[in-house]
Each structure stands twice: as C-alpha cells, then as structure tokens.
Structure 1
C-alpha cells in the first residue's frame, strides 16, 4: 500500500494482524502507528504510546527522526537508518522524536523462525532499506506465488542477516533501582556517585552494586554511560549541537563527551549522525 500520511483516509485502514499474508509493510510519515492502526500526531514534538502488542512481529525502520522502544527489562534507541524488531505478542511502547519517516513490516510467526526471538535493534543495510520501501508499495492482499512473494522472501532473508545494534539499555525491575533510573533519565546531568545514590535510596553501596549487577549485568558507571550514549544519539539526531548535548549530560567539556562517544561507538558524534543522514 502507499505511504500513509496524516492526510490519508484512515477509514480504509486494515489491521495488518488480520491480513492473511506473511508480511505486510506500510510506510508512515506524520502520524503514529500503534495498536494495529494509525493515529494522527505531530512528530515535530515527542510522541509516546502506551504499552501494546501485535500478533505479528513488527520491524520498524526509521529513515528520519528517532524512535525509542521499551519492553519490560529493556530500552532501545533507534537512530535514522536503523530499525527495531519486536517479536509478536511482546508488550512494547514506542516513542518518537523529530520529523518521523518510517517503514513498518508486520511479519507472521510462520515465517519468522530465522529472526531473533527477543526485541533488538538492527542496522539496516541498503538492500534491507530498499526492500522495505518497495514492499510498502505492494497491495496489502498482494498476489502470492509471484514477484511479490519473492520480494518478501528476500526481505526476510536480508533481515535475518542484518547486524544487531548496540544501543540497548537493560532496565531493572527492583522498585528502588527504578526510582534511581527514573531520576537519572529525568535529570541526566546529575553526576551523583555510587555512594550518593546508595544514600538517597537507603542502601549500602555493596547492596546497590549487587542489585544493579543482578538486574542489568552492568556496574553503575557503565549503566549510566550507556544511558548517556543513548540520550546523546537521540538528541543529536534531532538537531542538538555537540556542546548542548555535553552540557545536558553534565560533562565538563564537549571534548570529554566526544571522547566517551568515540570510545563507545568508534566514531565522533558528528560523523555518526552524518553517516545516518547520508
């Protein structure tokens, strides 16, 4: 089907979960896709959806703007030219920032055996990107057994080979840790030490360290750095300057922020974003 926009007639919308085809792809710009249908939204502002699920797995490719996804126990950032994969039946919440253009493929479990059984981000190869765009031009009830089926089969093969992304943040379930997480996400420039956070939550440093390791697999410093990295990617992709991001994350200088970013992702912030906009 053609790319949907905020001006499209959504009365003609068909829930992809109900379409008897192994893969159904749509393009979307200017509104949110959730609960199986489109919802008008101004993507110049951040938009957030409640937790929901689909019977089919969902692959969301962001060409412009930034998507974030959350499931129980995990948080993902999806920068431009990347995608997020959510298996069927998994409760998830999608958030968007910037002017969004994306393509969403709904994939039936009968053809998803070679795809990850867990939520993850994937790096979209040029071929995968073009296959998603092309498949979005197919009718929802495309004829099976011909060119459309071959296109869908190639899309599934290319998706199975796509590299897994690294912008993932484990989210703890312990209520005391969640309070720390929520505070840091609301005020990422807070540079409180492990001792500071332990005192704020009424825990010993040893207990806090043990809880974090058990529930996230990370030390406090490593977890906070990963959060800063993910926030930085989201802000940079929506137009913030390196200096502004460094300030908002509480770094003493833009240089120290750039050093952290380069060590984590192998390139500078400016080059990282430029590569995804090219």
Structure 2
C-alpha cells in the first residue's frame, strides 16, 4: 500500500487546489483532539476510520462513528472533536464537482468509498486532469453521491435558555432532571419550555435528550468504554434500560452495533495505517 501522507489540517492549503477532490489523514494520540471553529471554501467529508468524531455546527451536533462520515458543505462554520487515538480522513470536494447535499448530514460509507479515500490520501494532491488518480476520483465522487444518510444528529437550539440546558447536559450527561425541573431552573413555565424546545428542535424534550444520550453513548463506545460504563455515565439505573433505549433508536443493541463496526473494519482489512 502507498505511504499515507500526513498533513496539519490547519495548514494544508486544500482550498487553493483546483482538483475535484483532495484527501488527507489525521491521527490523534492519547488525548482527544479538537479543532477551533473554522470553515472551508470546498465541501468537506470528515471520515472516522478508527474511533469517532463529534462535529459541531451552529445549529447542531453530528456524531460520526467508525465507518461513517459527516458531510459539511463549503462555507459552513464548524469544529471537529476526534476521540483519543482516533484516525480520521478528510476529503475536500471542489464546489460543483459532485451532487452533494446542501446541508450537513452523516453518511454511511461503503468499503469502496473508504478504500478510495485512503488511496487518494496517499497520492500527490496536485494530480493532472487526465491522470489515473483523477479517474479514480471520478469513481469516488460518483459513489459518494449515492451514499445513504443516517440520523446521527442532535439539533442545537438558538434560545439562550435552551443553550443553558444544552451546556448543562454536555457537562453532566447523567442529569435526569424533568421538564418541570428545567423550567424552574431557567425561570419558565413547564408548558412554555416544552413549546420552545419543540419549536426550535422539532423534538419533544424527551426525544431531544434521548438523541443527546445517543451522541454521548456512541462517543463513549468509540473510545472503548464498556456498555455498562456508558450506561452508568448516562445515569441509567440498569444496563438493560440503556440497551433498550439504544436498540429502539439505532435498531440494534450497543454491543452488536460495536461488533458491526468491528466487522466493517475487518472487511476493510483490519489494518492500522502506518
């Protein structure tokens, strides 16, 4: 396999390159890595090869478990947090080079898409239009246009009062306060708070908090925490109740979900890129 080229994503001048798509790889060490809020002229696909990524934009949070990617259109301000010992690929797509979504979304990536991105990251990024690399990029973008989207998204409200609740939940995911308790905390009536949450997120408070828990759970599992540790961190009194919530939301229990991720990685060669 070709040598993987490593770049400092903050100093790699990808936006200046006219190629339809360019790719690079980022590895974190023992500590999490988080980028400052920034934006690109090109669209960006952030791919989790190992570990997980939490991508935050102005109005929401996107979770990217291993084998998935989050699509960020050009011009959208965002920040990325990569779990400890994560391995991430960035694919930057020139505007108009592919029919990609106009809004952020999480995409389920096939093995072919992942392998093409890995391969591209190992090539000289200033490839000519008639090169073999350019032809492979054409195949990559065609496949990427067909990738299905996944609902691994948490809408973030704009209201300062709701942002206060969001920050509290981020600091303490195990917080089980009710709508009535939160209403007293932010000096609102329970009915007004429930209406505000629904209006700004499209979800009830229970649905919104459950989606938050899914984001936290996926991040925890990606970092290697056990199902029991994850359930306890989220304040569940029993592991079974956490598993039930996870299965109802993502269609399978967390252990099977993690095994499925491992199988996908094995199918891709079960390799650690050097």
Deviation at 1:14, TM superposition (A): 4.4
- TM-score, structure 2 length as denominator? 0.91
The separation in 2 between residues aligned to 1:53 and 1:160, in whole angstroms, is 22
The separation in 2 between residues aligned to 1:141 and 1:245, in whole angstroms, is 44
SS at match of 2:46: strand
Partner of 1:267: 252
Aligned counterpart in structure 1 of residue 39 of structure 2, from 53, 74, 85: 53
- TM-score, structure 1 length as denominator? 0.90
The separation in 1 between residues aligned to 2:233 and 2:50, in whole angstroms, is 23
Aligned: 1:17 with 2:15: yes
The separation in 2 between residues aligned to 1:239 and 1:247, in whole angstroms, is 15
Contact 1:79 1:237 in 2 (8 A): yes
Deviations 1:72-93 (A, max 9, x none): 1110111111111111111001
Aligned: 1:83 with 2:66: no
Contact 2:33 2:84 in 1 (8 A): no
Partner of 1:242: 227
Compared CA separation, residues 153 and 109, structure 1 to 2 (3 A): same
The separation in 1 between residues aligned to 2:236 and 2:25, in whole angstroms, is 38
Deviations 1:64-113 (A, max 9, x none): 0111101111101111111111111110011111211121111110213x
Partner of 2:56: 70
Deviations 1:186-206 (A, max 9, x none): 111111111100011100011
Segments of structure 2 that go 5 or more residues without pairing to the other structure are: 264-274
Compared CA separation, residues 251 and 161, structure 1 to 2 (3 A): same
RMSD: 1.5
Aligned: 1:125 with 2:110: yes
SS at match of 2:208: helix
Contact 1:3 1:137 in 2 (8 A): yes
Partner of 1:200: 185
Correspondences of 1:84-99 after superposition (within 5 Å)? 84-99=70-85
Aligned counterpart in structure 2 of residue 178 of structure 1, from 163, 187, 199: 163
Segments of structure 1 that go 5 or more residues without pairing to the other structure are: 31-42
Deviation at 1:28, TM superposition (A): 2.5
Deviations 1:150-171 (A, max 9, x none): 2111111111111112110000
Partner of 2:271: none
Contact 1:3 1:28 in 2 (8 A): no
The separation in 2 between residues aligned to 1:263 and 1:243, in whole angstroms, is 18
SS at match of 1:226: helix
Partner of 2:4: 3
Instruction: Provide the aligned length of Structure 1 versus Structure 2.
Output: 260
Q: Mean Cα displacement is larger for which, 45-54 or 258-267?
A: 45-54
The separation in 1 between residues aligned to 2:152 and 2:125, in whole angstroms, is 32
